[in-house]
Amino acid sequence: MKKTKFALAGAAALSVLTLAACSSKSSSSQPSTAVKMAKSYNASGSIDKNATIKAAEVNDAPFKGVSDTVLASNAEDGDVFSPGLQGLFKTDKNYNIVDGGPANLKLNRSNNTATITLRSNLKWSNGSQVTAKDVEYAYEVLGNKDSDTQQYSSSLEQIKGMTEYHSGKASTISGIEMPDGEKGKKVVIHYKHVTPSMKRSGNGFFWEYAEPYEYIKNVPISKLASAPQVRKNPIFYGPFKLQKMVTGESTSWVRNPYYWGKKGNAKAVTINVVSSSAAGSAFKAHKYDFTVGTTGIAASQYPTVKKLSDYTNVGSPEMGYGYLGFMVGHMNSKTGMNVMDKDSKVSNKSLRQAIGYAMNVDAVEKKFGNGLGKRATTLIPSVFTDYHDKSAKGFPLNLKKANKLLDDAGYKKKGKWRQTPDGKKLVLHFAAMKSSSTHDEEIQNYLQQWHKIGLDVQLTGGKTMEMNAFYDAIQSPKPPKNVDFFEAAWQVSSEPTPTMYEANAPFNMGHFATKRNTQLIENMNNNKAFSNSYRKTQFKDWQAYMNQQAAYIPESEGLTWTPVNHRIKNYSTSAADSNDSWATMGATSANPK
């Protein structure tokens, strides 16, 4: 589920910071988290086949309870249904789709098709077969004009006939074929173009789950999200089947007797919602084995949790990053294209770079993020080890360089503050979203840093903004006068093509659009990019180009981590293990140690 979920989140989600004086300096160009965490945990001893795994979903709100991946619009639902939800495709450690999962995928470049072949023994938890129609029906629900889904995207319109179906002109999707019939196990999807990104999970071109067609076919698609088949008694083909759900609070699972693979090592699984204020205490009291999902225990509670002797902290770099975006243009509402404005206050890249070099992100992350975060160096997060440019330095603190950049670009000081190159007063407005009070301190620290280089940067509205007001401001096609740059964060998919920075991307909120940028992003998925080395070069060039342009400055990356109880066997954060992780995981004793 995590692989296909996207959300734009506040930067504070990546780093929870406390009151900061932030005077310590760091000029490290190769940031790393202060905390080194294991990537897996394997308890000694043999698995107790009668044990129940107890997981916590840290969340201050009840989960919504939409078990259908097409219709769910939040990550929590995916977390609490994860023991039953299994992606159709297995991946390697780099999220490349490989054979061996519930279904295999074969791309045909000459025919522009993707063939999905389901396992012959793949069954739903009610005993019925998972069929070709189940795979196809997911696209019907996605594309139906009456569907509530937020997952329908332009990528899906690469499927032949999808646009016609979505507009209601066609009653079926002509580009999806079931050669062995609806009850068969094969689906062929015809695309306008097959792209290299399709080799990887999370690409958005095909849906990675199936819908139990026979089970839900009598429910109109517009009513599906609230139907009992989705809300009360959903069925899954993963290693566990839902035994009970208390909406908003908990899910409990037992082994799925029809599971295609080796039966679950645990007898049962329970997942309970735990408030962030109580999460640390809950682990101290040994109530849970680990947390599920990306929210997890707040970094501020890490010092307490790390002392727990019966737990080992396991983590991996987060699939996301915080960044600064500069309002360098606007969106032409008629064409839907982003256009650069030469007269934008932040159109000078030296100014943008100087703002980046003035930030002491290393010090902030190390000292106040409890070492769980680090400075991001490029717009491709380090979790993508095959595409992230390890040699990129990003914007390490360098006030001297920042001052020089501004001096050379003509931003001369008059009194305390610098002026524009043509001698006008320069006041920059910075928009940031409200999260915790500690995040406010972080923002104040950055303002202080920018003041040090003579830039009169003021917080939009004089304070951090409420989420809705923030996005209302930065998402407008024409940037408001009181926002020159902003801080936000992306949670990314496991396919790292940075489509959100394309010239026609509505969420390219700084409106950065250059030919070079468009070309490099296109190159990532052209025919040549089926060669991995070529593709890697394009990613590397794009990262270097974006850092040089500094229209978006990578700020920080966090860790997705959890304490894992010492009774748990086969806990792994590797993408290679994620497809059947719930089946392989087990416990060596009846209760958490």
Asked if residue 124 lies in contact with residue 237, where contact means CB atoms within 8 angstroms, the answer is yes
Choose between 351 and 380: whose C-beta lies nearer to another protein. Answer: 380
Candidates 14-22, 352-360, 468-476, 567-575; binding stretch for another protein (CB under 8 A): 468-476
Please select the residue that binds another protein; options are 153, 419, 514, 532, rule is CB under 8 A: 153
Query: 97 in helix, strand or coil?
Result: strand
Choose between 9 and 406: whose C-beta lies nearer to another protein. Answer: 9
Please select the residue that binds another protein; options are 21, 427, 467, 590, rule is CB under 8 A: 467
Identity of the amino acid at 362: D
Choose between 43 and 55: whose C-beta lies nearer to another protein. Answer: 55
Choose between 497 and 565: whose C-beta lies nearer to another protein. Answer: 497
Identity of the amino acid at 65: G
Distance between CA atoms of residues 585 and 434, nearest Å? 38
* φ, ψ of residue 457 in degrees (nearest 5): -100, 125
The position carrying tokens 């205490």 is 281
The position carrying tokens 């991995």 is 532
Candidates 58-66, 133-141, 171-179, 575-583; binding stretch for another protein (CB under 8 A): 58-66
Distance between CA atoms of residues 274 and 249, nearest Å? 8
Strand order in the sheet with 240-246: 240-246, 250-255, 268-274, 52-58, 290-291
407 near another protein, judged by CB under 8 A? no
6 near another protein, judged by CB under 8 A? yes
Distance between CA atoms of residues 573 and 453, nearest Å? 42
Choose between 156 and 553: whose C-beta lies nearer to another protein. Answer: 156
Distance between CA atoms of residues 553 and 79, nearest Å? 31
Short-list 466, 460, 498, CA closest to 479: 460
164 near another protein, judged by CB under 8 A? no
Q: Which two tokens stand for residue 285?
A: 């009291």
Candidates 16-24, 28-36, 122-130, 494-502; binding stretch for another protein (CB under 8 A): 494-502
Dihedral sign from CA coordinates of 21, 26, 32, 37: negative
What is the pattern of x (binds another protein, CB under 8 A) and - over residues 447-466?
A: -------------------x
In 574-588, which positions are buried (b, 16+ CB within 10 angstroms) versus exposed (e)?
A: ebebbbbbbbbbbbb
115 near another protein, judged by CB under 8 A? no
507 near another protein, judged by CB under 8 A? yes
61 near another protein, judged by CB under 8 A? yes
Q: Which two tokens stand for residue 154?
A: 């332009």
Q: How far is the CB of 262 from another protein (least distance, A)?
A: 25
Choose between 139 and 490: whose C-beta lies nearer to another protein. Answer: 490
Q: Which of residues 204-263 bind another protein (CB under 8 A)?
A: 204, 225-226, 231, 243-244, 246-252
272 near another protein, judged by CB under 8 A? yes
Distance between CA atoms of residues 241 and 234, nearest Å? 9
Q: How far is the CB of 149 from another protein (least distance, A)?
A: 8
Distance between CA atoms of residues 579 and 138, nearest Å? 19
Binding residues with another protein: total (CB under 8 A): 67
Q: Which two tokens stand for residue 6?
A: 């996207």
Q: How far is the CB of 21 from another protein (least distance, A)?
A: 27
Distance between CA atoms of residues 416 and 137, nearest Å? 64
Q: How far is the CB of 310 from another protein (least distance, A)?
A: 15
491 near another protein, judged by CB under 8 A? yes
Choose between 115 and 272: whose C-beta lies nearer to another protein. Answer: 272
Q: Which of residues 168-207 bind another protein (CB under 8 A)?
A: 204
Distance between CA atoms of residues 522 and 286, nearest Å? 50
Q: Which of residues 64-93 bind another protein (CB under 8 A)?
A: 64-66, 71, 73
Site residues for another protein per CB under 8 A:
5-8, 59-62, 64-66, 71, 73, 145-146, 148-155, 204, 225-226, 231, 243-244, 246-252, 270-275, 277-278, 281-282, 284-285, 287, 336, 466-469, 471-472, 475, 490-493, 497-500, 506-507
